Structure 1
Amino acid sequence: MASGKFWAGLLTANNSTDTGVIPAAKIRTVNINVANYGSVDVLIRVYIGMNAAPSDADRIEADITLKPGQLYKLTGEPMSTGERVVLFSNNTGAVARVSGFEEDA
């Protein structure tokens, strides 16, 4: 069973960032952390779906505004084979990490 960090990095302004697909015959329980280390507010969106270019139907949260120094945290989110976490930020200054546990489906 794989565990730990699946993806980490900076989110770029006005772009969706695909954090990777769950391999065939695997399932994951993930934790998603996004921190605003910048000096201005950052609006983020969190998607879980089957495509790297998600639709609004894949959003799992409303728009989230992070003030400088603020953290968004989602823990224990179950995911299936073929799904992926996609993160969006409207500004620079956001850093994210997706971690958790992966096991056979």
Structure 2
Amino acid sequence: MGKVAVTPAVVGAAAVTTAVVLVVRHRMQNSGKWDKAMDIVKEFEEKCATPVSKLRQVADAMTVEMHAGLASDIGSKLKMLTSYVDNHPTGDET
């Protein structure tokens, strides 16, 4: 493939990637779920008097331990049982 064919391919790929990013960003901004989730995080931060950055560190550490617990019985401090969830939370639970 020569330079003549590679250049349009790269430009086309960049255009498609940009379009996808813009669509996803638009959907996230227009989705009320993102704002609702951020409101929950802010409320939790205020009640715990803990900065969001520290909460993210705790969440990341828990994720690592959960994956290690699922991978092996002795690889983690947090023991996990392999299970399956039929439905995911919607945020409307009380």
Q: Which has the larger radius of gyration?
A: 2
Tell me the TM-score normalized by structure 1: 0.16
- Structure with more strand by fraction: 1
Higher RCO (CA 8 Å, separation ≥ 6 residues): 1
Greater helix share, structure number: 2
- The normalised TM-score by structure 2 is 0.17
